[in-house]
């Protein structure tokens, strides 16, 4: 619904999808079924095309607790894959919509090209620094990700300045899930809470087309945002569903919202 007021109470029209649900399927098939302009904020951590299955055993974790079956994209297809989903992202975002996309350094080129080709304006190039990386012998240990904050219209987008001096390097630890099932690439909740606090309002519609363990949907639910998510791997989809159901039975509506002097700074540098 292009032109809707940010922050107003809405019941989003998602075409064949219901609001506050997640779907099992391929994002490249599902995204084209969404109506244009129905999403306020898209937050996603797409597959990285770095042969993750081979690498993940290097993490110091109990293998049996790590969910299997993560869907990777072959490196030579990554540019095309990125272009396809980003063009759809641009179509489904409202005119004042924003996108946060995560990228490792090795696929950053394709992600930056995709943003440009899909017509986004990149507002910030954030660095997420976490507390450990995969052990190396002949090179530095990678312990950061890139997060590109991009918008459709640089003169009109949501930005709640909930901190006086929000810097573009975020030091946020990964979470340890002792004894529980975990997915190898799960985002920390505080990281997603931070994105949602700055770039969305209660009642906004949040989409993550590559859900994994479902952190973006789980945090959206906790913070009183509407959400929709897609995940192609059955085991991950079921795990995300379970997390959402657990969240519903012990709701923490509004939990995780960063507070502070709120100021709309649309289009400001
Ligand atoms: C980096 S992980 C996301 C991790 C997530 N942010 C979390 O907190 O757990 C990317 C996910 O995208 C899924 N995926 C890969 N290709 C997909 C596709 N075409 N459609 C939907 N999901 C896909 C993978 O199975 C994986 O779970």
Within a domain: 184: yes
- Tell how far the Cα of 238 is from the centroid of ligand 1, in angstroms: 13
Q: Which atom of ligand 1 is nearest to the CA of 215?
A: 8
| CATH code, domain carrying 97 | 3.40.50.150
Q: What's the number of domains the chain is made of?
A: 1
Residues with CB under 6 A from ligand 1: 26-28, 45-47, 70-71, 183, 185-187, 210, 212-213, 215, 230-233, 236
Q: Which of 172, 232, 243, 244 to mutate to test the pocket of ligand 1 (most atoms within 8 A of CB)?
A: 232
Asked whether residue 3 is domain-assigned, the answer is no
Parallel, antiparallel or unpaired: strands 144-151 and 169-171: unpaired
**262 in any annotated domain:** no
Q: For residues 4-38, b (16+ Cβ closer than 10 Å) or e, as one string?
A: bebeeebebebeebeebebbbeebeebbeebbebb
Residue pair 30/85 in contact by the 8 Å Cβ criterion:
no
CA 120 to each of CA 117, 130, 251: distance values in angstroms, whole numbers, following the listed order: 8, 27, 35
pLDDT of residue 9: 44
For residue 11, being part of any structural domain is answered with: no
137 pLDDT band (50/70/90 cuts)? very high
Task: Let me know if residue 74 belongs to a domain.
Answer: yes
pLDDT tens string 26-43: 999 999 999 999 999 999
Q: How far is the CA of 69 from the centre of ligand 1 (A)?
A: 10
Mean pLDDT, rounded, of the chain: 85
pLDDT, position 61? 42
Assess if residue 269 is contained within a domain: no
In this predicted structure, the answer to whether residue 110 has a pLDDT above a threshold of 90 is yes
Q: Is residue 6 part of a domain?
A: no
Atom of ligand 1 nearest to the CA of 240: 9
Pocket test for ligand 1, best of 78, 229, 231, 234 (most atoms within 8 A of CB): 231
- Looking only at the bridges linking them, the beta strands covering 169-171 and 205-208 are unpaired
Ligand 1 pocket test: pick from 44, 71, 191, 192 the residue with the most ligand atoms within 8 Å of its Cβ: 71
Residue 223 · residue 255 · CB < 8 Å: yes
Note the pLDDT tens digit of each residue in 209-257: 999 999 999 999 999 999 999 999 999 999 999 999 999 887 655 567 8
- Answer whether residue 205 shows pLDDT above 90: yes
Atom of ligand 1 nearest to the CA of 26: 20
Q: Which domain holds residue 202?
A: 21-249
């Amino acid at each position: 619904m292009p032109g809707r007021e940010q922050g107003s109470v809405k019941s989003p029209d998602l075409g064949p999808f219901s609001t506050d649900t997640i779907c099992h399927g391929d994002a490249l098939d599902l995204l084209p079924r969404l109506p244009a302009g129905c999403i306020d904020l898209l937050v996603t951590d797409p597959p990285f095309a770095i042969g993750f299955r081979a690498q993940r055993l290097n993490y110091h974790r109990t293998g049996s607790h790590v969910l299997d079956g993560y869907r990777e994209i072959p490196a030579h297809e990554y540019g095309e894959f990125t272009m396809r989903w980003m063009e759809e992202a641009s179509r489904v975002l409202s005119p004042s919509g924003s996108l946060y996309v995560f990228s490792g350094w090795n696929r950053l080129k394709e992600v930056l090209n995709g943003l440009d080709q899909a017509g986004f304006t990149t507002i910030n190039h954030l660095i997420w620094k976490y507390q450990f990386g995969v052990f190396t012998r002949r090179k530095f240990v990678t312990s950061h990700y890139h997060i590109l904050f991009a918008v459709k219209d640089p003169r009109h987008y949501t930005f709640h300045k909930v901190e006086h001096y929000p810097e573009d390097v975020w030091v946020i630890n990964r979470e340890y899930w002792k004894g529980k099932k975990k997915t190898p690439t799960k985002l920390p909740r505080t990281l997603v809470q931070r994105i949602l606090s700055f770039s969305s309002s209660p009642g906004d519609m949040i989409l993550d087309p590559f859900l994994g363990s479902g952190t973006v949907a789980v945090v959206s639910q906790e913070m009183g945002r509407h959400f929709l998510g897609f995940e192609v791997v059955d085991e991950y989809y079921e795990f995300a569903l379970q997390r959402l159901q657990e969240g519903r039975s012990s709701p923490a509506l509004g939990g995780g919202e960063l507070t502070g002097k709120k100021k709309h700074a649309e289009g400001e540098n």
